[in-house]
Structure 1
């Protein structure tokens, strides 16, 4: 069963341009296309943003997700942060400075892969 990851963009631009742009960027990835969804109308996160939801079905899709977010951030002009969150409280942030630092992107990919890979499938 796919893990549902919630993505929120901070600060979100008026009219949610950043969120729509990120959704479009993620849908361009074959492994993510069918799993990207907007939040149902009237539902917002605890911080007031209008998040995206992405279904991630394992380590490979988690790597694609984080790499796609980093690629999107590198092409942004304004300072934004993307927060990834799972229903169990796990969160990770990536911002423009991190997206340009491959060591930080690699560390985030590893954390995201561990977060969405079931315990029994993880390598030691």
Structure 2
């Protein structure tokens, strides 16, 4: 494993209880060639890092990244998944050094809104990726 490999935690927080949100997102992300082997579920018995979203029912995924290009693919894939959801869902990305970014597209089909979210999330990540 390269020394620069980091794990980003994705917290999936549906507004309405949805047992399939994590599975749906994982499947969507694994359909991307550059993410296919990088998406896993946390080990059994582990918990989502404490934050404002974990007070609600929250699912989590782990994604291994080693470059800002992979992070960009990840954020774009999440935004694409959000625009195809029928329910309201927020996905929070959290890095090992404490940075975080949220993608929240409330039933949006407006690609300008999605693009703005992608730019904000990548902007939060890119300075730390070098």
- TM-score (structure 1 length as normaliser): 0.83
Q: How far is 1:13 from its partner? A: 5.9
2:117 equivalent to 1:108: no
Higher helix share: 1
User: What's the Cα RMSD here?
Assistant: 2.1
Counterpart secondary structure, 1:51: strand
Partner residue of 1:51?
60
Residue correspondence of structure 1 range 11-22 to structure 2 within 5 A: 11=14, 14=17, 16-22=19-25
Partner residue of 2:96?
87
Q: Which runs of 5+ in 1 are unaligned?
A: 119-124
Q: How many residues align?
A: 117
Question: Using the alignment, how far apart are the partners of 1:30 and 1:67 within structure 2?
Answer: 13
CA offset digits 1:79-119 (Å, max 9, x no partner): 1100000122111100114884122322222322333x13x
Q: Which runs of 5+ in 2 are unaligned?
A: none
Counterpart secondary structure, 1:34: coil
Partner residue of 2:29?
26
Asked whether the 8 Å contact 1:66–1:112 carries over to 2, the reply is no
CA offset digits 1:26-70 (Å, max 9, x no partner): 001111111100011111213263310000110110100000000
Question: Using the alignment, how far apart are the partners of 2:109 and 2:93 within structure 1?
Answer: 14
